[in-house]
């Protein structure tokens, strides 16, 4: 359904909502709402332009909210009518939060509901929207950023007839690798990022150690009431995979301590900024389903927690440098984050679920006829480069660009250049 129309300089924005089945295998059952925002260059509203669908990273985050004709969107609007999809459970789509899940009476009911929010369901939503919005016989191109690329690969496997092209920006997932292998590779990348962080900011070795020692010696509460533990503090490394990921942590550490009436203590400014640095509680889908995005016909069993024990460098209580962790989700988070506690039992059920459907079909990818281009970032902390290259080799016709010039946020940081290069590859201009 077409709704409001808004204008920002150079761009016309058109709101759409769609009703889709919660479970596409039960089309007459419960339905949810999916929101999408169409963007078209001003003055071209009536032109018959091809469509580009943006699939956001995550899981559990909405599409970007445009404020200007800039970045990758500026480049996209030269050629396309863009659809910014709020994947199910995010943004203005039917929300998925601890508050809304409370309507499900048992953890088992909550877990059963959450199983419907992976890439396979997102792709089926996109196909339903394509048929309704642009017509069943017209194809569109998808642009997948990070986890959005996982969704795009699923699209190639499950519904290639709906695609005119597929673009991947740091989001080629492993096809067959067990989840434990994924986290072993990721931990090694996180260790490399920690070493680079301390090379850039050597004084932060002592600052970080001082913060952890303070947390080990006394109980420190965050403004929202949660306790700040060393392992929660270590999660600041989640941003280390971005080109600008070191600086927020460094500047936060610079103001960690203050001298007050009690002597030297962690500053309230530091505690407020630390708490506001995370979105696990406002976007719980990310925490609940993060490991499940890798699950295929096997339980994850809290892989990141189990594999962490293989890397003693992450033991913050040990003397020496404190190593930050990355994008991992741990079971203790559902105790230490107040907003996640109501979902603890459902998260445990999902972690032990053995029958996740297979997301990727190697045979289908080997027969692919959809034009594809992918950017793989050489030092990517979130999506292992070696596994991405394996997947690229399995997709027939995919044109691969491996670069060390950008980090995982290349599409955000240098969007015009990155998308321009991908489109040149897709259309044979490079």
Catalytic residues: 146, 355, 408
C-alpha–C-alpha distance, residues 74 and 52, integer Å? 13
C-alpha–C-alpha distance, residues 427 and 166, integer Å? 11
What is the maximum span of the chain, computed from C-alpha positions, in angstroms? Answer: 71
Per 3-state DSSP, the chain is made up of helix, strand and coil in percentages (nearest 5) of 40, 20, 40
First vs last C-alpha separation in the chain: 39
Cβ atoms of 186 and 386 closer than 8 Å: no
C-alpha–C-alpha distance, residues 62 and 69, integer Å? 19
Neighbours of 278 (CB within 10 A): 17
Cβ atoms of 140 and 134 closer than 8 Å: yes
> What are the φ and ψ backbone dihedral angles of 2, each rounded to 5 degrees?
-80, 135
Cβ atoms of 196 and 249 closer than 8 Å: no
233 Cβ partners below 8 Å, 6+ apart? 211, 212, 215, 274, 316
Encode 323-351: b = buried (16+ Cβ within 10 Å), e = exposed: bbbbbbbbeebbebbebbebbbebbebbb
Structure tokens at 50: 């091809």
Q: Where are the beta strands (DSSP E) in 281-406?
A: 372-377, 398-403
Cα Rg, the chain, nearest whole Å: 22
Q: Torsion-angle region of residue 10: left (phi > 0), alpha (psi -120 to 50) or beta?
A: left
Cα distances (Å, whole numbers) of residue 385 to 189, 280, 377, 394, 429: 10, 26, 7, 14, 25
Cβ atoms of 50 and 80 closer than 8 Å: yes
Structure tokens at 289: 């389903």
């Amino acid at each position: 359904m077409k709704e409001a129309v808004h204008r920002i300089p150079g761009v016309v924005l058109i709101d759409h909502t769609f009703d889709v089945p919660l479970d596409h295998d039960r089309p007459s059952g419960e339905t949810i709402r999916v929101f999408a925002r169409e963007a078209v260059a001003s003055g071209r509203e009536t032109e018959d332009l091809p469509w580009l669908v943006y699939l956001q990273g995550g899981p559990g985050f909405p599409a970007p909210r445009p404020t200007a004709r800039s970045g990758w969107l500026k480049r996209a609007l030269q050629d396309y009518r863009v659809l910014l999809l709020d994947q199910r459970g995010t943004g203005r789509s039917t929300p998925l939060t601890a508050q809304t899940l409370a309507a499900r009476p048992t953890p088992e009911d909550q877990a059963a509901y959450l199983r419907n929010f992976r890439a396979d369901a997102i792709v089926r939503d996109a196909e339903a929207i394509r048929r309704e919005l642009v017509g069943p016989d017209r194809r569109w191109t998808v642009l997948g950023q990070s986890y959005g690329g996982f969704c795009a690969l699923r699209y190639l496997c499950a519904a290639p007839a709906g695609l005119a092209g597929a673009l991947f920006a740091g989001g080629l997932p492993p096809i067959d690798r067990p989840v434990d292998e994924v986290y072993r590779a990721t931990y090694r990348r996180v260790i490399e990022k920690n070493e680079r962080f301390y090379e850039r900011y050597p004084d932060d070795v002592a600052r970080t150690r001082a913060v952890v020692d303070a947390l080990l010696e006394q109980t420190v509460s965050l403004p929202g009431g949660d306790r700040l533990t060393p392992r929660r503090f270590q999660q600041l490394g989640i941003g280390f995979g971005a080109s600008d990921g070191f600086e927020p942590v460094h500047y936060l550490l610079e103001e960690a301590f203050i001298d007050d009436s009690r002597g030297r203590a962690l500053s309230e400014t530091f505690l407020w900024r630390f708490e506001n640095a995370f979105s696990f509680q406002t976007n719980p889908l990310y925490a609940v389903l993060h490991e499940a995005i890798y699950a295929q016909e096997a339980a994850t069993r809290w892989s990141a927690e189990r594999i962490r024990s293989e890397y003693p460098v992450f033991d913050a209580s040990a003397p020496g440098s404190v190593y930050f962790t990355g994008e991992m989700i741990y079971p203790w988070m559902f105790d230490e984050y107040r907003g996640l506690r109501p979902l603890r039992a459902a998260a445990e059920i999902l972690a032990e679920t053995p029958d996740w459907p297979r997301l990727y079909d190697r045979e289908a990818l080997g027969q692919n006829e959809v034009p594809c281009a992918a950017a793989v970032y050489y030092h990517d902390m979130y999506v292992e480069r070696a596994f991405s290259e394996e997947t690229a080799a399995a997709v027939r016709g995919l044109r691969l660009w491996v670069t060390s010039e950008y980090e995982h946020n290349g599409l955000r940081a240098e969007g015009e250049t990155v998308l321009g290069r991908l489109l040149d590859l897709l259309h044979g201009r490079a």
